[in-house]
Amino acid sequence: MSTSAPFLSGPFTPVTDEMTATWLRVRGDLPRELNGQLVRNGHNPLPDVVPHHWFKGSGMLHGIRLQDGRAESYRNRWVRTPALQGAPYMTERGPDYTAHSAGTHAIGHAGRILALNEAGFPFQVTPELDTVGVFTFGGKLTTAMTAHPKIDPRTGELLFHGYGPFPPYLTYHVASPQGDIVRKLEVAGAGPSLMHDFAITQRYVVWFDMPVVFDAKDTSGMPYAWKDGYPARIGLMSRDSGAVRWFDVDPIYVLHVTNAYEDAQGRVILDAPAFERAGWERSTAWWAGRADRGPSLLNGARHHRWTIDPEKGVLSCRAVDDLVVEFPTVNPEVVGQTHRYGYALALPGGEQGPWALAKHDLDTGTRQLRVLAPGQLPSEGVFVPSARATREDDGYILTVVSNADQSPAELLVLDARDIAGEPVAVVELPRHVPGGVHGSWIAARA
């Protein structure tokens, strides 16, 4: 396989087969309360397949199962979608919602594990990561599904959306804790922009209609491009009525959201990394394989905080700091609720690296960094709450560290209160794990 594209080389070099390994070596002491499986998704083309865009690589799941202080197993499996064998996403009849990579995210909800890609339907997989098949919520899902659904920790509901380049541009769904779609509505006022992520609060859904817009002439492999003059807006939609109010913001783009909540005054506090045009275009050049246009998969996104007052109809924004960050996460128990801490991948030394994990204390304005060695790439930090938690950051950050020389990867289990400190435990994985996209901790069912 040619490795000229940056997403096919170094720590992103694809693996060529599937494997299962058991009883992995552990350094340190794995917390016995970590009973479940870290499932991480990413793009991994078949051998001899050279995609023209990072997102076109077939989805591959990597699972690391922990139980009673032991690392029981590692396994990797391709998600067996029609796209794995080359089926096109777009047909003469329009989009085929089964023919996509399913390579962006993996979540657990209502006893199911779903592999996600916003271009189509979810694919259900078994706990052993074998593909069950396309999942449409009993036929109730008729649009694509975002790769970033939100599980409301108060209700257990799964909130998600589908977006597309043609009206209706944005459709909102709610699934019950049992996994049945109970609500669907078209979102008024949305446009044909790339709505990769969104946020929730107790009363609102927060939308991002921003100037990365469908462009049928774009040849990069992702038909969305920055469009000057397209108004950047944040929308607050009532979770009760579905009514939307849009607020104009400076021309930026939000790819991933940290979290949102309502403060004591009823204002919406929203945290997220944001790109300006230059950083966004350097990032998309990397995804499209144009290494000369950008040395890193993330370029120039910086953490911002918006305060939106629905009663007064005003919005303000400030930069949290100047650190380049992306792939933000929080404790899943505070999704849509007041949060103090956010975690993210970071480039403290600039786009050439080295990589780091960052923890922001958004109350004090301080941050903590865990800087990795040159050639090492951490995965998105997945927060697992401790069963004995008394504070928001009582828990663990799980991250898979991939190596540029394709030597075997490691799973770091970090104390979320002190991510720069000595790891709680390190699980030695049996192989190279390519740098990927998103994943989830899926707790063992009682």
Task: Please state the residue numbers annotated as binding site for Fe cation.
Answer: 148, 196, 256, 438
Question: Strand locations in 215-254, DSSP E?
Answer: 224-226, 233-238, 244-248
Q: Which structure tokens are listed for 355?
A: 């990589």
Tell me the C-alpha distance between 287 and 124, whole Å: 26
Residues 6 or more apart in contact with residue 220 via CB below 8 angstroms:
53, 284, 287, 288
CA dist., res. 300 & res. 192, Å (int): 24
* CA 75 to chain centroid: 21
Backbone angles phi, psi at 44, to 5 degrees: -145, 90
Nearest to 262 by CA among 225, 306, 317: 306
Residue 55: which of 378, 377, 288 has the closest Cα?
288
**Phi and psi for 139 in degrees, rounded to 5?**
85, 0
DSSP 253: B
Q: How far is CA 196 from CA 126, 147, 319, 387, 415, in A?
A: 26, 7, 21, 32, 30
Residue 301: name the closest of 339, 275, 331 by CA: 275
DSSP E strand boundaries for 239-381: 244-248, 259-262, 268-274, 302-309, 314-329, 341-346, 356-361, 366-371, 376-378
Residues belonging to the binding site are: 148, 196, 256, 438
Q: How far apart are CA 118 and CA 116, in angstroms?
A: 7
b/e code 104-123 from CB counts within 10 Å (16+ = b): bbbbbbeeebbbbbbbbbbb
Residue 46 phi/psi, 5-degree rounding, is -60, 155
